[in-house]
Amino acid sequence: MSNNSLLRPSTFLLTGMPGMEGGNMWIAVPFCSMYVISILGNSMILLVIKADHSLHKPMYLFLSMLAATELGVSLSTLPTVLSVLLFDSREIEMNACLAQMFFIHCFSIMDSGVLWAMAFDRFVAIYNPLQYASVLTNPRIGLIGLGLVVRSIGLLVPLPILLIRLPFCRSRVLAHSFCLHPNLIQLPCADVQVNSMYGLFVLLVTFGLDLLFIVLSYVVIIKTVLSIASKEERLKALNTCVSHICAVLIYYIPMIGLSLVHRFGKHASPVIHFLMANIYLLVPPVLNPVIYSMKTKQIRRGICKLL
């Protein structure tokens, strides 16, 4: 038997709320509530858009993609979070951990890509409204969605492959109640420079480029809106972007904060790591359905019809 197989753990240990191991049930109640809101809210948006053919337009098709990816993020973390908080079951097999890591990051990257696609949708609608229908046709929207899926899977396949070859002789305890790549690469007792550099590369070519394109889209949108003579028309144009701007802020601010904590806050309190990771993965799927339901009359009307 090789040394690597002797040093490779069969299981990792997940972590609940640091310092409150005896009171996990009190933490489980708000977490369960957030998961219920996230799953029901995003499922409702998908059902509304599917049922109402008048909503089969680019803006709402991209919104359905956002709801699907956020549903994927919630369902990827749900099993281990609830097993830790409700049943104090902390062990997770290595293969299951790597699979969870893959799906969490995969859906997160898709989420980021959909936010960029939604920014492009607003850019075309405001900058060149006459060409909107001819530019964003349903086949092109389908290709954009397929491209985002292929990009996410293609970039993330090497992550578990690179990790599974490493010897783990340090602590088996993870910093969260789910598996994340920045946490896992801190555990091997080998050179993880390749893993770290590839992880940084994936971060830059996905979240980094998506955020750059979103910012550039809004620079052009703002310049276009300011050139509109009528104040009412300016406000109407900007109002169509409010929900998307909120979605971008509640997604990227926690994501940037979590990345900074993982890379530069190794000596920060474990509570900070716990809160940042859970805010990043739970808050956007919970708030986005609420925001779009409140700000979008057609979605609100569709939900009322379903209920």
Whether the predicted pLDDT of 5 surpasses 50: no
Q: How do residues 199-228 score in pLDDT, each as one tens digit?
A: 999 999 999 999 999 999 999 999 998 887
Could you tell me if residue 161 is left (phi over 0), alpha (psi between -120 and 50 degrees) or otherwise beta? alpha
pLDDT of amino acid 22: 55
Whether the predicted pLDDT of 21 surpasses 60: no
Whether the predicted pLDDT of 110 surpasses 80: yes
Average pLDDT estimate for 77-89: 86
Cα–Cα dist 134/24, whole Å = 53
Structural domains present in the chain: 23-306 (1.20.1070.10)
| Of residues 291, 219, 201, the one with CA closest to residue 251 | 291
Using alpha carbons, list the distances in angstroms from residue 31 to 38, 54, 177, 265.
Answer: 10, 35, 12, 25
Cα–Cα dist 59/129, whole Å = 13
